[in-house]
A and B are shown apart, each in its own frame.
Chain A
Amino acid sequence: MVRGAGRPRSFAVVGAFALVGVGCARAPRQVDAPSTPTRAHAVRAAVVAAPSPLRRLSNEEYDNSVRDLLGDATRPASAFPPDEAVGGFESNSVSPVTQPLVERYQLAAETLAAAARPRLGELAPCPPPEAPRACAARFVERFGRAAFRRPLDPRERASLSALYDETARRRGHERALSLVIEAVLQSPSFLYRAEPAQGGGGATRPLSGYELATRLSYFLWASTPDPALLDEAASGALDTADGVETVARRLFADPRALDGVRSFFRQWLDLRELETLSREGEALSRFTPELRRAMAEETLRFGAHVTLSGGDVVEALLTSDESFVDATLARHYGVPAPAGAGFERVRLPSGQRAGVLTHASVLTVHASAEDASPILRGKFVRERLLCQPVPPPPPDAVISLPRFDPAETKKERFARHRMAPACASCHRMMDPIGFGFEHYDSIGAWRDREAERAVDATGVLGSTGDADTAFDGALELGRRLAASPRVRRCVATQWMRAALGRTERAEDAPSLDAAYAAFAAAGFDGRALLVAIARSDAFRHVGFEKEAP
């Protein structure tokens, strides 16, 4: 039994300073000092929500949205520039768009509209004797509402109708409908998830039903709301936390929930990098496109499975000896290939693999081009599982690579990082954890020996506040991490970041506390965490910075 499970506890202090970083040179922080129990029962004060910078659809969200709006599964956003992540999650909330991206939006909209041409009869039905103009008006209303995730306002209605009328005169009904599609898909009301300010700012307001429907569907489906969800928004069904929970549970039951959960794991575990990274040396020939795809698929399936099927999701994530492989990955792992062509649930090789830390995907993404990287793997654990960001190298770091001497062991070579005090304070946070993964090479294949030596996979987990230990190998590391409240809290924090598209701020602490408490009370069932986040004040409200008059 995990400490703290089943007993709601508060970790407000963690929320407040989680982002300060491990501090490297400073003393390890005490992480789970509970706040006073009276707080939770105090009279409920007015909600104060943190500002949420304007988010632009991620490439995945764009692709899923046009799939659901137009039935087009060509994933045109794969040609867009990469997304911008905050807190590890794609939110496109920092940098404004530039002309090259606007050109891509235009090209994608034109391509999608052209592809929809043969299906216009289905998208904009117009049974005779109805006048095309009347059918078009209906299409504008319906398509506009679906794409903007709210009803059109009078100006938008007039603008799109005028575009239709003028084009229909010049170019005919079908061409005019195409231009309406193009204009809607390039509109900021489609591309951005606007949550406008009211009045002078500086205040918190609850989200409208439509805004909440949009947050919910992109959080749980990584896609646009369906008409039923927009109807629920209109009906007031999302006006209370209980209402939100009911709707969230309906969304879970939809196949699109798989997209949402897979999206979380793809971002949290950096799996997007599998598409682009390259390998060198001996691993190059083994790192086939099939293996690359299979690696990602294993972890995405596994993540969705353990999140949506109940039970302690953290325990399963970090220690489960079951996973999903196809023939390609089975060969890579040295387990019997499944009978069918696709992925099947299998038991992983005993003593070699258990949990996502031992998945080839995670190990490959956090490796150098030619070898395991204790730095990247340690940094990954520190930042993504312990929520302790590692600062960049200090300004005066002299980064001169020593000559590679194969006679030295890896630990001897990496010990140099920790000789200079400026480097030591941070590398101490990464390398000793990373050494625990030495049984896995640059593409996550198991090895007992490296460079004619038996692998030494002993490591040290330190400065965690609640899980400090020496350990041997990634399996033991996974078990240690699974037992750490800090790690469990961090998992909740990561989901919260994904839901909000930003890193947490002080205002979010009560929401994070409440979500964590509900997560723990439910025995760390993943669905309970997602519902609790959806119910939270931070999710259902938006705050605004005070503006200079």
Chain B
Amino acid sequence: MRHRLARRRLLGALGAGLGAASVPFVPWLDARAGGPPPRRILFFFTSNGTIHERWLPEARGERLDKLSPILAPLERHKSRLLVLDGLRHQVIIEKSDRTGHAAGINTALTGRNNEITDPAQPLHSLATGVSVDQLIGARVGAGAKLRSIEAGVQVEPYNKDYASLSYAGPKAPIPPESSPYRVFDRLFKGLRPRGAADPEDAFALEDRRRVLEAVSSDLDALRPRLPASDRVKMEAHLDAVRALEHSLTTGAGAAAASACAKPALGPRVHPWKNDDIPAIARLQTDLVVMALACDLTRVATIQFGRAGAGHRFTWLGGEFAQDPQVDPGSLARGLHALAHRESHPESRAKLVRAHTWYAEQLAYLLDRLAAVREGERTLLDSTLVVWLNELGTGGDHSHERLPWVLATGARGPWKTGRLLSFPGQPHNRLLLSLCHAMGVDVKEFGDPDYCKGGPLTGLG
């Protein structure tokens, strides 16, 4: 019943034309002269921890001074950074009997412990709660075409517990989409500039709406007949169908910037070819920035690899193609193998170069956001960018001193250009801070045991 009502409300919100036999409105892709830009949040994930001695920037008091080797590419955005040192995955440290890469990615945005879902394969486990991006997306992004977009750079979807930063709810991972073409379709397919309508669009839209209406009524009917544990699945399915229905009829949002246009896809990349990683990263970044510029979504993730990614940084030099130092029988490859050989100088030097390359990609993302005008300001001014990692250091699977870096422009909620230290503080407190910064007023996030003290103090 709750669902039927919710759907009716939704249809009402979409416009009276939809329910009737008349032609529904077609979603447009165009700039609007909207009110104040909404707040956006963008998660930028890289894996295998960091090397703190090469990561920690210098500061005078709190003020960022000389950036570290790894953060050096961010020099031009230094005044926009908030480097956080000392946070830890307390819930994993205290409650989990599994502490590797998967535990890290599962807890990073959920603030919760993992649960083994298959007793025959105790290596695999999933997070037990919603992730912060999804919670924010459901609140802040409810009117946008998509509540969130998750773009991956070669995130193998096998073993979802290594692949998923985002969770729609307990044990409901959302692995990112690693094909830029599919990301493009999810965002831009079917959208036309205003005035370029094709009548068939409207008919096709009406067809889809009616089919989904029939599907929803089947989900509604089946749900109460199932045991409680399965009713949850029907509710999640219904929610996804409703979100799809909404996205089909929704184009650029009220805050679309004048730069909003269908992005060009450029030369074809192969989503699973290692050497294409730089090109894929560019493409995914450009798509996500345009999604924000068109106000198609307000919550996004760009994820470089799964937890413990084994990408080989061949584009940085031939020496990355092979790891003569690594036993050929070892299961760790590429970046993952380097992280597990951190104590060896050659591996360590390569690791620093790899993490520095990630900082370059973040700098490019910030450049792109800063290049989109929104009235007097830029897209970066209304976007909170969060660089996170599943571990503190990869080699020993440490969940301490997580290398979080925040970046935001003038409209951001916090004073930037600073290095802040929160030794031993649970990262749940930062997740709470992110919620509050995005206007989601919750008292706790994730495991309540690690929210004591509320959001981090001293960010503002």
Contact = CB atoms under 8 A, between A and B. Distances in A.
A128 to B, nearest CB: 27
B119 A389 contact: yes
Nearest to B156: A276
Interface string B183-225: 0001000000000000000010011101110110111011001
A175 B173 CA distance: 36
Contacts of A96: 168-169, 171-172, 232-233, 235-237
A218 interface: no
A369 B311 CA distance: 13
Given A194-B226, A389-B121, A101 B211 contact: no
B120 A389 contact: yes
Contacts of A393: 100
Contacts of B142: none
Interface string A186-214: 11110010101100010000000000000
Given A183-B211, A373-B331, A404-B328, A99 B226 contact: no
A83 B15 CA distance: 38
A372 B329 contact: yes
A376 B332 CA distance: 13
A436 B118 CA distance: 28
A402 to B, nearest CB: 8
Contacts of A183: 211, 214-215
A374 B329 contact: yes
A492 to B, nearest CB: 15
Interface in A383-410: 383, 389-395, 397-404, 410
A36 B236 CA distance: 47
B241 A102 contact: yes
B175 A503 contact: no
Given A401-B337, A497-B120, A102 B329 contact: no
A197 B225 contact: yes
Contacts of A84: 160
Contacts of A281: 322, 328
Contacts of A294: none
Given A183-B214, A188-B234, A196 B226 contact: yes
Contacts of B69: none
Nearest to B218: A187
Among B237, B244, B340, the most chain A Cβ lie within 10 Å of the Cβ of B237
B228 interface: yes
A504 to B, nearest CB: 9
Nearest to A148: B218
Interface in B325-365: 325-333, 337, 340-344
B244 A103 contact: yes
A105 to B, nearest CB: 9
Contact of A187 (B120, B215, B342): B215
B160 to A, nearest CB: 7
Contacts of B228: 201, 545, 547
A404 B240 contact: no
A87 B222 contact: no
Contacts of A544: 227
Interface residues of B, number: 80
B99 interface: yes
Nearest to B176: A100
Interface stretch (A62-70, A163-171, A221-229, A305-313): A163-171
Contact of B326 (A171, A404, A414): A404
A369 B118 contact: no
A182 interface: yes
Contact of B396 (A175, A182, A399): A399
A280 interface: yes
A94 interface: yes
Contacts of A100: 174, 177, 186
A53 interface: yes
Contacts of B96: 395
Nearest to A113: B211
Contacts of B233: 54, 96-97, 192
A503 B229 contact: no
B169 A175 contact: no
Contacts of A369: 333
B421 interface: no
B11 interface: no
A179 B229 contact: no
Contacts of A473: none
A368 interface: yes
A384 B328 CA distance: 25
Interface stretch (A3-11, A152-160, A532-540): A152-160
A284 B158 CA distance: 21
Nearest to B177: A100
A94 B98 contact: no
A97 B186 contact: no
Interface in A309-335: none
Given A371-B328, A545-B229, A98 B172 contact: yes
Nearest to A402: B327
Interface in B35-76: none
Interface string A491-515: 0000001000001000000000000
Nearest to B169: A96
B329 A410 contact: yes
Contacts of A85: 118, 121
A81 interface: yes
Contact of A368 (B123, B325, B329): B329
Given A85-B118, A183-B211, A99 B243 contact: yes
B215 A186 contact: yes
Given A183-B211, A374-B329, A404-B327, A392 B396 contact: no
B86 interface: no
A370 interface: yes
A499 B237 CA distance: 25
Contacts of B331: 368, 373, 375-376
Contacts of B146: 99
Contacts of B174: 98-100
Contacts of B206: 170
A401 B340 contact: yes
A74 B363 CA distance: 43
Given A187-B215, A372-B329, A547-B228, A94 B244 contact: no
B211 A186 contact: yes
Contacts of B329: 368, 370-374, 410, 413-414
B80 interface: no
Nearest to B215: A186
A87 B214 contact: no
Contacts of B227: 51, 197, 201, 544-545, 547
Contacts of B302: none
A392 B325 contact: no
B21 interface: yes
Contacts of A397: 397
A410 B327 CA distance: 9
A167 B157 contact: no
Interface in A345-363: none
A199 B222 CA distance: 15
A403 B325 contact: yes
Contacts of B267: none
B453 interface: no
Q: Which 9 A-B pairs have the closest CB atoms?
A: A96-B236, A370-B328, A196-B225, A371-B328, A54-B230, A371-B329, A87-B120, A183-B214, A102-B240
Given A179-B210, A188-B219, 19 more contacts: A19-B120, A21-B122, A95-B171, A95-B173, A96-B232, A98-B172, A98-B236, A186-B212, A192-B222, A370-B329, A389-B122, A392-B100, A394-B97, A395-B98, A399-B340, A401-B330, A403-B344, A414-B329, A544-B227
7 contacts: A54-B226, A100-B186, A103-B244, A166-B210, A194-B225, A404-B328, A413-B327
Interface of A: 19, 21, 51, 53-54, 81-82, 84-88, 94-103, 106, 109, 155-156, 159-160, 163, 166-167, 170-171, 175, 179, 182-183, 186-189, 192, 194, 196-197, 201, 273, 276, 280-281, 368-376, 383, 389-395, 397-404, 410, 413-414, 497, 503, 544-545, 547
